[in-house]
Amino acid sequence: MTVESLKKLSNTELARYVIDVLRRMMLHYGIWFNEVVHQLGLEEAIRLEEQASASFFPIAIKRLSKTLGFKTEDDLPVGLVNMEKGKLISLIRAMSFNWLAGDGVWFRTVEDNYDMHISKRCNDTCWSRYSPLEAAMIKSFLQLPPQSGLDGLEQALDFRLYAHINEQAIERSDDELILRMVKCLVQGTRKQKKLPDYPCKSAGLAEFPAFARTIDPRIKVECIGCPPDEHPREWFCAWRFYIPK
């Protein structure tokens, strides 16, 4: 499409096209990551993604700043850095909810077109790849050492996107960490609709060990309870993290 072709579009059509371009960027970036996983393995893909993102996002932000006329400092939009802290936190929460909405929409779309079994298979595989990627990004953001133990894990769990959506409780001792999901948006919504718990244990078994192992390879995980398991009213799922002696 040439500039002349774009000029024929209305402002509404151009705005819709902007969102479509963003969608293509997200998909292409994700396809690259997925193919590197296929060719070189997940651990190497995570390492290379950190290098690629460190180059890509400053380039992208600089180009957008010139186009939209906002200033940058240290490769960040100045308006974002200077935003009131409460609004920044609200923005992070809104983005986290959008992340979960995207996850849920994908699950429902596959389920509606096929069945729950196939959708769960896709979901569990996604978590097996996303969870170590998120852990690696948090580990880098917090500058945790390679073996930060349960202290590092406790910090990292607080920076997961889920931590901005659900209410979780952590109980610590010297040799173990217990994570309980006190309020879960997905399960809470189902409860309001008088639906049974979503059986998410298979996803948790893919998610939590991969996350913990990325933070510190020594950490092991044990499921205390997760749907379809029976659980008390005080929590929906609970997980024990420990380092074997």
Residue 2, pLDDT score: 73
Domain ranges of the chain: 1-81, 83-245
User: How many whole angstroms separate alpha carbon 81 and alpha carbon 88?
Assistant: 9
Q: What is the pLDDT of residues 108-152, one digit of tens each?
A: 999 999 999 999 999 999 999 999 999 999 999 999 999 999 999
Residues 74-83 have pLDDT tens digits of 999 999 999 9
* Token reading at 176: 């173990």
- Please provide the CATH number assigned to the domain covering 83-245: 3.30.1380
Instruction: Centre a 10 Å sphere on the Cβ of residue 103 and count the other Cβ atoms it contains.
Output: 16
pLDDT value at residue 1: 55
Distance CA 135, CA 149 (A): 13
Calculate mean pLDDT across residues 61-66: 96
User: Angle CA(134)–CA(140)–CA(144) in degrees, nearest 5?
Assistant: 110
Spatial distance between the Cα atoms of 212 and 188, rounded to a whole number of angstroms: 25
Residues of the chain above pLDDT 70, percent: 100
